[in-house]
Amino acid sequence: MNKIQHSKKGFSSLSVLLVIILTGLTIAVRASADIIHKNNIIKEEEMFIGGRWDTATFAAGCFWCVEAQFSQLKGVKAVISGFTGGKVANPSYKEVCTGLTGHAEACNIIYDPSVISFKQLLAAFFVAHDPTSLDRQGADVGTQYRSAIFYHNPSQKQLAEAVIRALNQQKVYDSPIVTEVTPYSVFYKAADYHQDYYNQNKGVPYCQLVIKPKLDKFRKVFKSRLK
């Protein structure tokens, strides 16, 4: 990854939150997804026995940024970095970086819907990155950095589409949202060194120059929802 900086658009985080809150839709369907890594399928219920967990799958540029942001929120049990949306089985990080696999860098967000809703996660998603930037976030360019919501059930699809429609109608952003809303299929977990990347590598330039500023903004916007 060529990690330098991310562009900023003229939009208000507060405007994003207000529009999403005012969509007036709710979600009450539990999703169950499979995590596939090197031909091993592990059901999420087996990973987090003893509770009821739902899954949201978002692509919003570099998964290091997404993981660092969403792991801050109350009700989020785990954030797993990986690849989805393409046609190549068990892709390596280098293969995905070529942009030829069709996969996006994405995160499976395992959460407790009694603490945080999918709607609230959508609010975080639209604040966490620039959803009007096609196939790039800042200096990270390619289809692997596209903005996408991989829905696990019809309710997630309906809510995602309603929020996008509302944000566009209210012209919260300077340009139309290009976020894809597409069905979830399989998720390939990235190598271990990609997991919890920010916390393990805070001193590297990309973490300091890109992730930390985004994380600081994210924490400020969602300060009442932090762990």
Q: What is the CATH number of the domain that holds 172?
A: 3.30.1060.10
- Per the domain annotation, does 7 fall within a domain? no
Vertex 110 angle, CA 108 and 113, to 5°: 135
Amino acid 51: pLDDT? 57
Q: Do residues 111 and 120 make contact, with C-beta atoms less than 8 angstroms apart?
A: no
Q: Which residue has the tokens 């942001």?
A: 69
Domains held by the chain: number? 1
Q: How far apart are CA 13 and CA 126, in angstroms?
A: 8
Q: 42 by DSSP, 3-state: which?
A: strand
- DSSP one-letter code for 31: -
Q: Which domain holds residue 32?
A: 13-225
Of 62, 65, 107, 207, the active-site residue reads: 62
- Per the domain annotation, does 8 fall within a domain? no
Amino acid 27: pLDDT? 31
- Per the domain annotation, does 64 fall within a domain? yes
CA distances from residue 165 to 94, 122, 181 in whole angstroms, order as listed: 35, 13, 12
Q: How far apart are CA 210 and CA 128, in angstroms?
A: 12
- Per the domain annotation, does 1 fall within a domain? no
Structure tokens at 70: 């969403």
* pLDDT tens, position by position, 124-144: 999 999 999 999 999 999 999
Cα torsion 179, 214, 109, 94: sign:
positive
Q: How many CB atoms lie within 10 A of CB 161?
A: 15
pLDDT value at 2 more than 50: no
pLDDT value at 40 more than 90: no
Q: Which residue has the higher pLDDT, 51 or 125?
A: 125
- Per the domain annotation, does 158 fall within a domain? yes
Question: Is 62 tagged catalytic?
Answer: yes
- Per the domain annotation, does 73 fall within a domain? yes
The string over 75-104, giving b where at least 16 C-beta atoms fall within 10 Å of a residue's C-beta and e elsewhere, is: bbbbbbbbbbbbeeeebebebbbeeebebb
Vertex 28 angle, CA 177 and 158, to 5°: 30
Instruction: Tell how far CA 35 is from the center of its chain.
Output: 16
- Per the domain annotation, does 102 fall within a domain? yes
Q: What is the mean pLDDT of residues 33-52?
A: 43
CA distances from residue 67 to 84, 171, 211 in whole angstroms, order as listed: 15, 28, 10
User: Global pTM?
Assistant: 0.83
- Per the domain annotation, does 6 fall within a domain? no
Among 11-15, 28-32, 36-40, 175-179, the range scoring the smallest mean pLDDT is 28-32
